[in-house]
Amino acid sequence: MQDHNNQKSNHKYKDTLFRTLFGESKNFLELYNAVADENHPPDTPVTPYPSNELLARFNDIAACIGNRLIVFFEHQSTRSVNMPLRLLSYVTDILNLHIVDKDTLYELKQIKIPSPKFYVMYNGEQNFQANELKLSDAFIVNEKRPSLELIAKIVDINHGSGETALLRSSTLQGYSHLINEIRNNQRIGMTRDKAIATAVDSCIEDDILTDFLTEHYSEVSKMLNWEYDAEAEKRAIRREAQEETISDIARKLKEAGMTSTQILEITNLSESEIEQL
């Protein structure tokens, strides 16, 4: 029986891959051109806004292209009509942290901000009927002209969806192909770890996202498992702290004149560890 509970890969591997792939400025610009049906040249300046502690609760990626603030949200596997509410909180944080000088908020001169655009990059397996999501759909009172609105365009990036953006962006198409390969591998019984590794090898062999995968996935698990590794590191730090505390206690007991046998019984340290004290 396959052990699905003892896997190194994190179940949010798609988020990790998407943020890393399109966090690169050239790929971000290519993606925006594809979903917005625009043609900004490759040398167009892109100003990314990386996550920090405040923004860590979001999976989104954001950057300014010219006078537009573009926010992409990579959705995982289920439909959620609450994404406009999430995006509202996210873009407000970006404006306050990176764009707006709070000292100028009370001046008479109007502050100019980039025009936001929102896209939900949907790769769930359920059909998403809507083409866009509106914040006003969540309002208890339905108004014809709400004072606050946020509209997010839904872009179906599933392999074979027929979405035009997939045809306009080879990088997005490659990402879609890789996710589809992983899914197919899991359907035939592979563990998630095996499915990811096999799909990456297959894409490199077929010259799909080759440069990116070769650069970032020479060790596939190390890239896709950064969330898992972070937790493992925290556990190791806690364990080391506990061991250091026990060693301090044992040292004090030894200084107090206790025998090695007595210290061993109290601390569970080995005889060699006690001798080193």
pLDDT on residue 253: 73
Average pLDDT, integer, range 49-76: 72
Q: φ, ψ for residue 194 (rounded to 5)?
A: -65, -40
Considering its fold, how many domains does the chain have in total?
2
pLDDT level of residue 244 (50, 70, 90 thresholds): low
Q: How many CB atoms lie within 10 A of CB 150?
A: 19
Q: The domain containing residue 90 runs over which residues?
A: 13-221
- pLDDT tens digit string along 66-106? 888 888 876 655 667 888 988 888 888 888 888 888 888 88
Indicate whether 226 belongs to any domain. no
Sign of CA dihedral 28, 32, 33, 34: positive
**Rounded-to-integer distance, Cα 13 and Cα 192, Å:** 10
Whether 239 and 215 map to the same domain: the answer is no
**Rounded-to-integer distance, Cα 92 and Cα 27, Å:** 24
Q: Amino acid identity, residue 113?
A: I
- pLDDT tens digit string along 188-234? 998 888 888 889 889 989 999 988 888 776 544 455 544 434 454 45
pLDDT on residue 21: 86
Q: Is the pLDDT of residue 241 over 60?
A: no
Of 171 and 7, the structure prediction assigns the larger pLDDT to 171
Whether 196 and 264 map to the same domain: the answer is no
pLDDT on residue 26: 93
Whether 161 and 44 map to the same domain: the answer is yes
Indicate whether 139 belongs to any domain. yes
pLDDT on residue 58: 58
Query: Residue 71, class by beta-carbon neighbours within 10 Å (0-12 exposed, 13-18 middle, 19+ buried)?
Result: buried
The radius of gyration computed from the CA coordinates of the chain, to the nearest angstrom, equals: 25
pLDDT on residue 146: 93
Whether 180 and 119 map to the same domain: the answer is yes
152 pairs with which residues across the strands? 118, 133
By the 8 A CB rule, do 70 and 31 touch? no
**Rounded-to-integer distance, Cα 151 and Cα 65, Å:** 19
pLDDT on residue 226: 42
By the 8 A CB rule, do 48 and 62 touch? yes
Indicate whether 6 belongs to any domain. no
